[in-house]
Structure 1
Amino acid sequence: MPVKIGLTDTEDSVAEKYPGLQEYTVCQSKAFVQGILGCVVGASAAYTGSILFRRRFPIASKHTAVVLSIVCGVTSGYIITSIATQKCQNMWVNLANDAQQVNSHKIKEHTKIQALRKALESDRPAEVHKNKYGDSFE
């Protein structure tokens, strides 16, 4: 069954290869929406501020207000998007590390179970290991 990511379906093999892919895409979508809203709010605030500044000091031209609002809007949108994207990347790395630890734990448990099964099938005791303190364990 394909995994739904955005508007497209992703194969199961890709979703298994990259754990947390669906959470990452949701986080990235939110980051882009936050960036767009930050751009609009930043541009609106800068334009409003420049109009108020022009009322107080009539030296500034009308074109300066438009250019300033565009620059402020783009800058604020970029900063907000880059911060949110970095958070998404950190989240994905943490999810991948957690999945890797779980997989390595499963592999270790599987090998232990196989060793115990072989020991039971051959009617010999399981290997006794000793730790650095001299305690024995199977």
Structure 2
Amino acid sequence: MVNLGLSRVDDAVAAKHPGLQQYAACQSHAFMKGTGSFVLGTGGLFVIQKVLQKKLPYPLQWNLLLSVVAGSVCSYAVTRIETQKCSDLWMYLETGSFPDRTPHTEEATPPAEPSGPKTTQYGDVME
């Protein structure tokens, strides 16, 4: 049996997915980074607001609310980016290649030329 944190994974599943432990470790690291960014972001913004309290006086409850919301947004962003890296790692371990993350845009095709006689910008007909 392969241990992933507190749960165990069947040997058949672990044999089918050899990168499972690396992926689980990456996800765990991503969630810990997210938790750390929440704590540090919330605390840091709260301290900054306490320093600026002299110039912008507003109640403590708004200080806390703004700090927690900003810490949550920061935590979400960090966790999302790190989880995307873990997904890329999983795809690499499973397929041997990284996924293509470039946006797919259709190439512009040149406009079809009119079949009649060509005219200049002044309206003269060209032969």
Q: Is this a same-fold pair by TM over 0.5?
A: yes
Q: CA RMSD in A?
A: 1.4
Q: Does 1:48 align with 2:23?
A: no
8 A Cα contact 1:54 1:61, kept in partner: no
Equivalence for 1:77: 75
Structure 1 unpaired stretches of 5+: 100-138
> Partner amino acid for 2:48?
G
> Partner amino acid for 1:56?
K
Task: State the identity %.
Answer: 35
Aligned residues: 97
Q: Using the alignment, how far apart are the partners of 1:94 and 1:57 within structure 2?
A: 50
Equivalence for 2:26: 27
Equivalence for 1:121: none
- Structural mapping, 1:118-137, within 5 Å: none
> Partner amino acid for 1:5?
L
* TM-score normalised by length of structure 1: 0.66
Structure with the largest fraction of helix? 1
Query: Any idea what the Cα deviations from partners look like across 1:8-64, whole Å, max 9, x if unmatched?
Result: 221111112223111000000000000000000010011111111112232x22221
Query: Any idea what the Cα deviations from partners look like across 1:60-97, whole Å, max 9, x if unmatched?
Result: 22221011011011111111111100000000100101
* TM-score normalised by length of structure 2: 0.71
Structure 2 unpaired stretches of 5+: 98-127
Q: Among 57, 62, 65, which residue is 1:64 paired with?
A: 62
